[in-house]
Every structure is written in structure tokens, then in C-alpha cells.
Structure 1
């Protein structure tokens, strides 16, 4: 096996989730994950600092994609329209690999309070990235924060629906629908 195998990160994620599912998160070691993936421990540590990080492997990428989409929105875009552009950008980068791992990832996270806390921090991090991107567009801070929280909630809802067994829609459509539903819900608060 080549030392710099291009799919090493995906293989490590898939191996970790398989082991976490089979023997539990706490009972799985980094060495076992690397072995299951056909890689070395040092390769594991080139990609992740610890086994918890495997479960939030895409957070930085998603945050960057949200921010890029928001930055690329037309100058006249409203904050929620810019959020929609961020959702579109992130959804467009999600692959079948992400979809296949979603249910297993959720199942593993549900087994541990520590992992649930980390997942919640991931959500906060994505919202913060969106809020920062909106503030860079000169959106007032409170408006940017609120729009970003709505965007993070829309993505969470869309992702949950996307990985469902009976789903036939693409993630981008689901994210737009979730954002529209949240927007309507906010309008109904008065």
C-alpha cells in the first residue's frame, strides 16, 4: 500500500465508524482504526489528532464552504439569501460517501455524552463561520448571528433528511426547503 494513499482520510473515517459501531467508541483504539484502514498509526496522526476528531472530520471543510458561498453571493443578497448561497456551496460538495456514513455517524454519536457535546460544538462552529462571513459583508452583528443560526439549523435538518433511507432528494434542495420552512416559521412568530 502506498505511503501517501490519496483516500487515506476517507478510509480512516470509514474504518473508525465501522469499529465504533462494532465494538463501541470507548473500546476502539487508534491502532485498531489504522489497522482496519490498512494504514499505520503515524498516517492516522497525519490526518487526525485523536479518535474523536474522526467524527468531526469535515467540520473545517463545511465551515469554509459555507463562508465561500456566502462571500460569493451577489452584493445585493439579503443575509438569508447569502446563507442560502452558503448552503448551496456546502451541499454541492457533499458526496455519496458523506451520505452513506451519516446514519452510522449519528448512531455512534448517540452512544456518548462526550461525542454529543462535540457534535454540538461542531454546530456552533459552523454557525460562527457563517456569521463571520456575513459580518464580512457588513451585515450587522446581531442580524449575522441570527441568520447564521438559522442557516446552521437548516443544514442540520436537511442533512438529517438527506441521509434518511427513504429520501430521494438532493441535499441542496433539502437545505433550501429547510431554510424556507424556518423563514416561514420566524414570520409566524408575530
Structure 2
């Protein structure tokens, strides 16, 4: 059975990446896996967009954020990102769990609780790439169809082999 990183490495897709991330480790990792990368100045700084799966990721490094966080325009930037992208994720780059990293994570969680924003803490460029590819692949059209089909087969198998269903059949 293939590991998750092997299966995501075999899958190829197009990724629109903010020009501000041109020299980032995650871009090099994605490029090494033969994904089609397009850099753009017109997307939000720090963003990765997977058009075929309809997902977008915003990379946030707490070390780059000025203090105080509430007045830095950070929340407004994420709000704009959430309004533009239906299926969106914030990648919080936390190579270690210091006070500032936890403060940023808590602020995002409290402010966007109940919204369509998902938060994914990452520690390095490889985790950034792996996390994005896993989500993008799972939400891309051909793969969602396969997942639905497998779920239906699993459900049918459970129903067929369940002793509860056998007992209900005997009662009716």
C-alpha cells in the first residue's frame, strides 16, 4: 500500500502561487514533484491556489507580523481571503510553539470560528506542500468521485454483513 506522500507525489496539478513566495521552500518542493506552477502578482501575497480542486491556502508566518496583531491589518487580510475563496485554509507556519505562534493561532481560531476557514499548522516547507496536496487532491473532481464510490461500497458491505441487519430482516 502506498504512503500518503507517495500518492500525492504521483498526482500532478496546476498551482497558482503568489509571486511573493517565489523562493519559498514549499515552491521548490512542489516544483520538484513536477506540478505546473504559475506565479502571479494578482493573487493575495502568501497564497497558493489550486484551481482544479477549488481550494486556496494562505501562508502566515507569525514572525513576520507586527505587534499588536489586532491593529496590524492581519485579520482584515484573512477576512478578504475568506470572502474571495469558498474553500480556504490558513497555513500557520510554526517551526516551534512559542508565545507569538500560539497567540496568532488563538486569534485566528477565535475570530473565524464558525466560518468556512480551516486552519492547518505547519512546521516546514515539506509539511506545507504535503498538507496542501493532500487537501487539494481529496477535493479534486475525479478523486472525490472515487472517494464517494468507495464510501458507498463500504456502506453496502457494512449493511450486508451487519448482524443487526440480519436480525431486523428476521423480525420483519
Q: What is the TM-score normalised by the length of structure 1?
A: 0.26
Write 1 or 2 for the structure with the bigger share of strand.
Answer: 2
Q: What is the TM-score normalised by the length of structure 2?
A: 0.28
Write 1 or 2 for the structure with the bigger share of helix.
Answer: 1
Which of 1 and 2 has greater Rg?
2
